[in-house]
Amino acid sequence: MHIAVTGSIATDYLMTFPGRFSDQLVADQLDRLSLSFLVDELEVRRGGVAANIAFGLARLGLRPLLVAAVGEDFNADYRAWLNRHGVDTSGVHVSELRHTARFMCTTDEDQAQMASFYTGAMEEARFIELAPIADRTGKLDLVVVSPNDPEAMLRHTAECRQLGVPFMADPGQQLARMDGPQVRRLVDGATYLITNDYERTLLETKTGWSSEEVLDRVGQRITTRGPKGCLIEDSEGLAVEVEAAPERARRDPTGVGDAFRAGFLAGLAWGQDSQVSAQIGSMMATYVLESVGTQEYDLETVEFAERLAGAFGEQTAAAVRDQLG
């Protein structure tokens, strides 16, 4: 399966606050909120939703096509890193004017996060056309439309409909930026719609659609629920819950959702059903949770399959062994 992953590429600045954000908030002063947190650690890492998903797919033996906009600074190291790990970066547009996007995130001891995102070169993603990329690299079997410049996201989903290419709508944090008509345009006709549980409610609020109406407009709806796992639904009555894979440690939750998507998409590419695919995604998410940085985890086939077998059974583990050897 030839998968194109569109969305952000960024440099992540990950900080740790040795306390709880909730303890710093005064309920009757929120309209004058002004806080500064003294952090203990700073990690500078490669990131961006699309890059994280593509990296995860490549670690599972696929060769995804990354489609995004970056600055010249991307070419210094990041491109080589992704190419070396099996990601096709030929679909990446390089801006002559802007830096690659920046993600700045502070995590407290409850794994709650406060973050900011500088768009930078990502704004130029709206000028990227999928058809010429498909002509050059080969037929696209699935396009992932992950958080990106909003105009780019809408353009990519419109192109997918015109080209007859299945797509996964993954609006993520851009739901806060987009209005109701934009969200409806983004989601309508998606083969897969994926959000977390908060984004699920926000999407319904912004579109004015009920849960049933959303299901009528997409093939499958996947809702990630953090430590509670995920829920997979469709309009035919499918409602499958998949538990979160047990972790050995909790180091940083940044990129956990991206890793889940990578595992889920890999399972689909291998011909597995959504339940098994979500189980693979759940284990991938756990690997990222156990590390600092969204692309810093080690994935050794034998251990990965053993952990899958322990969490979800031998059938899921066998699906991975068959593909990765």
What confidence score (pLDDT) does residue 116 get? 86
Query: What helix, strand, coil percent values describe the chain, rounded to 5?
Result: 45, 20, 35
What's the rounded Cα separation, in Å, for the pair 233 and 235? 7
pLDDT digits (tens, 9 = 90+) for 287-298: 999 998 899 999
Q: How would you label 69-98 residue by residue, b for 16+ Cβ within 10 Å and e otherwise?
A: bbbeebeeebbeebeeebbbbebbebbeeb
What confidence score (pLDDT) does residue 34 get? 77
Token pair, residue 38, equals: 């003294």
What confidence score (pLDDT) does residue 89 get? 97
What confidence score (pLDDT) does residue 12 get? 86
CA quadruple 150, 282, 297, 113: dihedral positive or negative?
A: positive
Q: Which of 151, 182, 152, 188 is nearest to 169 (CA)?
A: 188
What confidence score (pLDDT) does residue 37 get? 84
What's the rounded Cα separation, in Å, for the pair 316 and 6? 28
What do you get for the CA distance between the two ends of the chain, in Å? 18
Q: For the domain with range 3-20+40-324, which CATH number is right: 3.30.2320.50, 3.40.50.360, 3.30.450.20, 3.40.1190.20?
A: 3.40.1190.20
What confidence score (pLDDT) does residue 31 get? 73
What's the rounded Cα separation, in Å, for the pair 177 and 117? 12
What confidence score (pLDDT) does residue 123 get? 95
What confidence score (pLDDT) does residue 62 get? 96
273 part of the active site: no
Q: Are strands 142-145 and 167-169 parallel, antiparallel or unpaired?
A: parallel
What confidence score (pLDDT) does residue 69 get? 97
What confidence score (pLDDT) does residue 53 get? 98
**Residues of the chain predicted below pLDDT 50:** none
Residue of 88, 108, 252, 258 marked active site: 258
CA quadruple 257, 60, 150, 95: dihedral positive or negative?
A: positive
